[in-house]
Amino acid sequence: MTAARSSEAERLLTLAAEHMLAHGVSQLSLSQLARAIGSNNRMLLYYFDSKEALFAAALRRAYEGMPAEGALLAHLQRPGDLRAQLGEAWRLLRAPENVPYIRLFFEAFGTAVRDPDGNRSQLTDIAAVWPREFQRAFVVHGYPEGDAEAATSRLLALWRGLQFALLEGVDTDTLDDTHDRAVAALFPA
């Protein structure tokens, strides 16, 4: 890809990610997205080959901008008190600046689950990063590989449920208390 083509593709990708973050993805067509970002279907397909490829790349770009993600994952992979780190990481995740990303995650995940054949890349990308990183974190904290995988499933179930409750409007004090009690039960010292 030439530098000019690459530059234009990056510009369109950034605009698509910003639009998806602000307006969501359910019922979003390629034509609607093209109009919203000042382009057209042919140009988007020229740069990204398919709607699926564009949407997957735009979602990845949006998630890269999530304020807490890098710090959260790095935080969990440091040696130390696992339960305290999980509490701190949860509080980073549920911070108000991350709520639009959480909302987009659930919407994109729901869209991908409804039509997995048409959204295979989205489903794979959405579901892949955190489990891999969480499993590494549990290994750092002394969990054998198989136990780390099971612990990752428990943590993801907890956090996804709490994120859903956050989007429903449950207050953060209640969510934090629920989190801390669940972590104490799920990950005994």
Buried b (16+ CB within 10 A) or exposed e, 55-65: bbbbbbbbbee
**How far apart, in whole angstroms, are the C-alpha atoms of residue 38 and residue 36?**
6
Per-residue pLDDT band at 114 (split at 50, 70, 90) = confident
Q: CA-based diameter of the chain, in Å?
A: 57
Closest C-alpha to 184, from 83, 39, 34, 112: 83
Helix (H) or strand (E) segment spanning residue 97: none
Burial 160-182 (b: 16+ CB within 10 A, else e): eebbeebeeeeeeeebeebbbeb
Of 79-88, 99-108, 110-119, 136-145, the range with the lowest mean pLDDT is 110-119
- H-run or E-run covering 94: none
AA letter at 53: A
Confidence at residue 64, expressed as pLDDT on a 0 to 100 scale:
87
DSSP secondary structure code for residue 96 in this structure: G
What mean pLDDT, rounded, does the chain reach? 90
Its pTM surpasses 0.75: yes
pLDDT, one tens digit per residue, over 22-40 is 999 888 999 999 999 999 9
When pLDDT is averaged across residues 52-70 and rounded to a whole number, the result is 87
For residue 1, name the pLDDT band (cuts at 50, 70, 90).
low
Q: Given a cut of 60, is residue 17 above it in pLDDT? A: yes
Counting beta carbons within 10 angstroms of the beta carbon of residue 86, is it exposed (0 to 12), middle (13 to 18) or buried (19 or more)?
buried
Mean pLDDT of all residues in 118-129? 69
> 3-state DSSP call for residue 187?
coil
H-type alpha helices, 49-168:
51-64, 69-76, 82-93, 99-114, 120-140, 145-168
Residue 115, Cβ neighbours under 10 Å: how many? 12
CA pair distance 178, 4, nearest whole angstrom: 51
Percent of the chain residues topping a pLDDT of 90: 64
Residue 102, pLDDT > 60, answer: yes
